[in-house]
Amino acid sequence: MKKSILVPYDFTEVGNYALEHAYMVGKASRTPISIIHIVKKTSEIEEAKAKLEKIAKDFSSQKDIEVVAEVRKGNLYKEIYKYGLEIDAYIAVMGTHGVKSVKKALKVVKKFIKIPFILVQSPVIFGEYDRILIPIDQDNTARIKIQWIRYINTLFKSKVYMITYNVSDSYGQKNISSNIRFAENLFEKELIDYEIEVLESSRNFADSIFTYANEVESDLIMLMSDKYRSYVKQIKKAENLELYKKTPIMCVNKRLDIFKMGGFN
């Protein structure tokens, strides 16, 4: 089976949003979509399978894209991960139900050590991920998300908006500067257009991320999975909480073999 886009599906409105976003990526990358629903009892499989196959068939005929449906019984996190490996999923899209579901969503995301998740709460607004915002901090292992921007750019010819901050200690500032240079070198090599916003300090960084996202009309925010929950919990401004609900967030786990990904060849 060729590489697929994985969509965990729960028969909710945000599940439909996830399908919309997956289609946008699948259309650009010419990649099929695989949707999966997990049930708790064997007796639930037949009914869920019929419902899911109808959704897959209808969506496939409307959008002219291959959609495969699968229903399994078992642990939500383990079964989604297992299926993702079976279909060779290289990216996943999942609907979430706001701040209250962050912990549950991240349990799924963290299982996929080598597969990034795009988390969505709203339908596709702009049609493409062509304005990507990426926070740059002191963690040089987070450079992996910069590599993923290179791939997203091959699909949507994206412009990148980096946001970072100054720190008082020389070691921390050295790490930030190094990460910025890494990003700039890659973007210039790949002819990716970018801008950078430098804050005076890291104070209220989470709010600053979403304030800047609003200013540049970002349609995708790229975060490391281990930073996602803390950033969301630190949002204070009501307008930024609303923007968080509307903006897809791509969560990337730390990994060592990114250059082996088919999408980067």
In angstroms, how far apart are the furthest CA atoms of the chain? 61
Q: Which fold has domain 131-264?
A: Rossmann fold (3.40.50)
**Where do the structural domains in the chain lie, given as residue ranges?**
4-120, 131-264
pLDDT of amino acid 255 = 65
Tell me the mean pLDDT in the region 121-131: 89
pLDDT in tens, 53-108: 999 999 999 999 999 999 999 998 889 989 998 998 999 999 987 656 667 777 77
- What is the architecture, at CATH level 2, of domain 4-120? 3-Layer(aba) Sandwich (3.40)
pLDDT of amino acid 256 = 44
157 has pLDDT over 50? yes
Task: Provide DSSP, the chain.
Answer: ---EEEEE--SSHHHHHHHHHHHHHHHHHT--EEEEEEESSGGGHHHHHHHHHHHHHHHHHHHT--EEEEEEES-HHHHHHHHHHHTTEEEEEEE--SGGGHHHHHHHHHH-TT--EEEESS--SSSS--EEEEE--S-GGGHHHHHHHHHHHHHH--EEEEEEE--SSHHHHHHHHHHHHHHHHHHHHTT--EEEEEESSSTTHHHHHHHHHHHHT-SEEEEEHHHHHHHHHT---HHHHHHHHHS-EEEE---S-GGG-GGG-
Per-residue pLDDT band at 238 (split at 50, 70, 90): very high
pTM, to two decimals: 0.90
Per-residue pLDDT band at 261 (split at 50, 70, 90): very low
Same fold, 4-120 and 131-264: yes
- β-strand partners of 4: 89
Tell me the mean pLDDT in the region 215-224: 94
Per-residue pLDDT band at 227 (split at 50, 70, 90): confident
